[in-house]
Amino acid sequence: MTLPKPEFILNRLNHSSFRSRFTLKEKELSYFQQQGMEKIISHGKDFITQRLAPAEPKNDGKQTPWKGHPIFIAQHATATCCRGCLEKWYKIPKKQPLTQEEQTYILSVIQAWLTQDLQKHQ
């Protein structure tokens, strides 16, 4: 399966009135600045592995909080918050565990979105 380049998917997501309204708020920005990109992405890797990668994640569709961590905001902004959104936006089928390649790809999209969003706050 060929996954779209992060820049392509971010452009598509920016045209979604729902997805495009997400941005890091003061609390998440402050936490991001304290931790740095590397640590935040490390947290993201753990979240993806635990909450998204299984074939049938617990509470799928509700497993990603709406606030409290930069990764959570980025997941909603990038439609990587649940298996339904992954299927709709990325054509990654439900009911199958995510491959390592898919997990790495999801993190690259999240990191690209974080980089893009941080530029808005400078």
Q: pTM for this one? A: 0.94
The string of pLDDT tens digits covering residues 79-119 is: 999 999 999 999 999 999 999 999 999 999 999 999 999 99
Asked if 6 and 106 touch (Cβ cutoff 8 Å), the reply is no
Closest CA to 6 of 109, 118, 89, 76: 109
Predicted local confidence at residue 15, as pLDDT: 95
Q: Is the pLDDT of residue 1 over 70?
A: no
| 44 vs 4: CA distance, rounded Å | 20
The string of pLDDT tens digits covering residues 33-80 is: 999 999 999 999 999 999 999 999 988 888 899 999 999 999 999 999
| 49 vs 14: CA distance, rounded Å | 26
Long-range contacts of 4-11 (CB under 8 A, 24+ apart): 4/90, 6/108, 6/109, 6/112, 7/112, 9/78, 9/89, 9/90, 9/109, 10/78, 10/109, 10/112, 10/113, 10/116
